[in-house]
Amino acid sequence: MFKKILIANRGEIACRVIKTARKMGIKTVAVYSEADKDAMHVDMADEAVCIGPAASKESYLVMDKIIAACKQTGAEAVHPGYGFLSENQEFSRTLEEQGIVFIGPKHYSVAAMGDKIASKKLAMEAKVNTIPGYNDAIGSPEQAVEIAKGIGYPVMIKASAGGGGKGLRVAFNDKEAFEGFSSCRNEARNSFGDDRVFIEKFVEEPRHIEIQVLGDAHGTVLYLNERECSIQRRHQKVIEEAPSPFIDPETRKKMGEQAVALAKAVKYQSAGTVEFVVGKDKSFYFLEMNTRLQVEHPVTELITGLDLVEQMIRVAAGEPLSIKQSDIGIHGWAMEARICAEDPYRNFLPSVGRLVRYLPPPEVPGEVRVDTGVFEGGEVSMYYDSMIAKLICHGTTRDQAIGRLREALNAFCIRGLSHNISFVSAVLAHPRFVSGKFTTAFIAEEYPTGFHNEDVVHDDPALLVAVAGAVNYLYHVRASRIVGQLPGHEYKIPGQWVVLFAEEEYPIAVRAIAGGHRVSYGDVDYDVLADWRFYDPVFRCTINGQPVTMQVERVGTRFRIHHWGVRAEVEVVSARGAELLKRMPKKAPPDLSKFLLSPMPGLLREVAVRQGQEVKAGEKLAVIEAMKMENVLKAEQDCVVEEILAKQGDSLAVDQPIVRFA
């Protein structure tokens, strides 16, 4: 067994690998860029080596620097995590030549499966079901359009070296095929240094289901059941679960056996994932093989009891697998939510900044797990992936896993930047998700115009009213204790209030009781019992004996309450105050229709128009790069460019003007 390993990655996956290595008694070496000098993985590791500037192409993607760090520290092996160099055949081969073990598959397996065109041909030879398509690299957008027409729309345009949603477009017509090919090729060149693109038939009403495989150096390959990954936005997974609510034992066995056949065909050693697209009739087709650990691996760990990182390390050290296929069972249900720095209320655009507050829910062994690589006071950078953490919950049944995940999200507090917790909470409560009857189009179909706060309706507003009433009373108790009050004129806390939110009025009465407050609304009393402090944004209480967790913060004269995906702006006032507020004029927002504003912080890659140019609706105006993704901004209507306000290469802030129209 290795004495010391280096983790060629950052963030939550680097921390995840360090935890297992520590459990196994293995020393760890972290590598970091200048932007990550204070990162959690640097602090957790036994040693750390700086490998360059913030940009990943100058640090985490530079093989020579990582190999030099291995030699400097005496690390015998490298765990690549996912992303960066994890599926780079040259990296694994070079490590091997330098006498350093790659904790992953051999370079020839990476080469065979890392190339989507070659892997599809290999899959066909191994008698694995494949999707119709054009499997050779395509040279031009015109050729892409002709091929797409030949296959029949819709088609999927994919970068051969792509992954994580980058270098992938779905086209429904010639125009989208032409533009999609160019975007895919650009993204692939920038992200992977490989601009080859291919096209295949897009299976409508699909589910994305993947099989986890595990192989050793002695010829054994096992499948560890499936993961359901159909809840995706822009082809990036949002919620994953294991097992799938759609797959029956017979289909699971067929998919597993095909995944094993493919892995054996390339002499696969390590943990890997074979991804399938599955039709409504349970027909399934090979998509790709990821020759690395997956982001969603924890759900498989929770239902099998296996530590996949430990298995990868043991296999890389030459040990045979200590389990056989018949040992692999399904124990309960696991579900993972990806917590990302993005604004669901602004079409999920990336968000960067400092984590002013960061309070993940407490971990409970076997029930609640948090995989993270950040801490309160740390910063989410524009240079890397937007993931903040992964929240994973396990239950005996799927309903119990959903319930635990929803409750844990209620207690997950992030302040200082935008995040997707409210959106994930709303998806978990959606009847279609709860039923298990969804496809990869779920988010596009259920939120066609994006996610809005009004899309989520709280199923028990009285809970919000009760908590708002209790918290407001506590603030007034504190105010009543101010010193220097005139005797006989001390502040007396009113007992009658009106709670205002969602354009509704809720008249309440509040009084103190032992351990909390009794809030009366209508003819129902809500006993809110809590030991809460003003500085704590997480409000844990019992309401009429039932445990409830919400997040409460005071913003000006209002309370902002987060619960079950609802972000309620609540005001608690007197009856007279409620009456006067109705008469207050509404302030109209400024007219910004004549400006193109940056919807996110990022790098202005291109300004596609010039001063005085007439622009038609749908034409490209600018391209912004943020968190390794290209975002094309297009004209919403016909217009004339009056002034260019930013230039190529500028770092933009949110809502910074780029173009002014006449």
**Residue 462, Cβ neighbours under 10 Å: how many?**
17
CA-closest candidate to residue 226, choices 151, 321, 296 = 296
CATH number at 163 reads 3.30.1490.20
Contact 208, 275 (CB under 8 A): yes
Q: Do the domain assignments include residue 434?
A: no
| Distance from C-alpha of 646 to C-alpha of 566, rounded to nearest angstrom | 37
> 412: domain range?
339-429+451-456
| Distance from C-alpha of 11 to C-alpha of 41, rounded to nearest angstrom | 6
| Distance from C-alpha of 321 to C-alpha of 218, rounded to nearest angstrom | 9
Q: Do the domain assignments include residue 294?
A: no
Tokens of residue 348, six digits: 């999920």
Kindly list the distances between the CA atom of residue 262 and the CA atoms of 221, 402, 431, 609, in Å, as whole numbers in the listed order. 10, 33, 37, 49
Contact 446, 456 (CB under 8 A): no
Tokens of residue 96, six digits: 């091997």
Q: Do the domain assignments include residue 605?
A: yes
Compute the radius of gyration of the chain from its Cα atoms: 27
Q: Where are the alpha helices (DSSP H) in 86-140?
A: 89-97, 107-114, 116-125
CATH number at 625 reads 2.40.50.100
Q: Do the domain assignments include residue 252?
A: no
Q: Are residues 35 and 90 in the same domain?
A: yes
Catalytic residue among 87, 288, 336, 342: 288
What is the reported pLDDT for 317?
98
What is the reported pLDDT for 267?
96
What is the reported pLDDT for 163?
66
Ranges of residues in the chain whose predicted pLDDT is under 50? none
CATH number at 31 reads 3.40.50.20
Contact 242, 328 (CB under 8 A): no
Handedness of CA 639, 643, 646, 649 (dihedral sign): positive
pLDDT tens per residue across span 76-88: 999 999 999 999 9
Kindly list the distances between the CA atom of residue 555 and the CA atoms of 17, 311, 498, 561, in Å, as whole numbers in the listed order. 39, 48, 18, 10
Chain centroid, CA 38 distance in Å: 23
Q: Where are the alpha helices (DSSP H) in 430-574?
A: 431-435, 442-446, 461-480
Burial of 610 per CB tally in 10 Å (0-12, 13-18, 19+) = exposed
Q: Are residues 531 and 613 in the same domain?
A: no
The DSSP call for residue 485 is: P
**Domain boundary pick from 85, 103, 121:** 103
Handedness of CA 320, 323, 328, 332 (dihedral sign): negative
Q: Do the domain assignments include residue 332?
A: no
Tell whether omega for the bond before 350 is within 30 degrees of 0, i.e. cis: no
What is the reported pLDDT for 115?
78
| Distance from C-alpha of 240 to C-alpha of 326, rounded to nearest angstrom | 25
Q: Are residues 609 and 576 in the same domain?
A: no
Q: Do the domain assignments include residue 269?
A: no
CA-closest candidate to residue 177, choices 203, 153, 161 = 153
CATH number at 561 reads 3.30.700.30
| Distance from C-alpha of 197 to C-alpha of 41, rounded to nearest angstrom | 35
CA-closest candidate to residue 81, choices 60, 62, 50 = 60
Tokens of residue 421, six digits: 């917790």
Answer yes or no: 288 catalytic.
yes
H/E stretch holding 199:
strand 197-201
At CA 405, angle to CA 404 and CA 411, rounded to 5? 95
Q: Do the domain assignments include residue 531?
A: yes
**Domain boundary pick from 556, 581, 606:** 581
The helix/strand/coil state of 97 is helix
Question: Per DSSP, what are the bridge partners of residue 240?
Answer: 336
**Domain boundary pick from 181, 201, 221:** 201
Contact 528, 517 (CB under 8 A): yes
State how beta strands 4-7 and 77-79 pair.
parallel
Domain count, the chain: 5
Which letter, b or e, does each residue of 145-167 get, where b requires 16 or more Cβ atoms within 10 Å of its Cβ? bebbeebeebbbbbbbbbbbebb
Q: Do the domain assignments include residue 247?
A: no
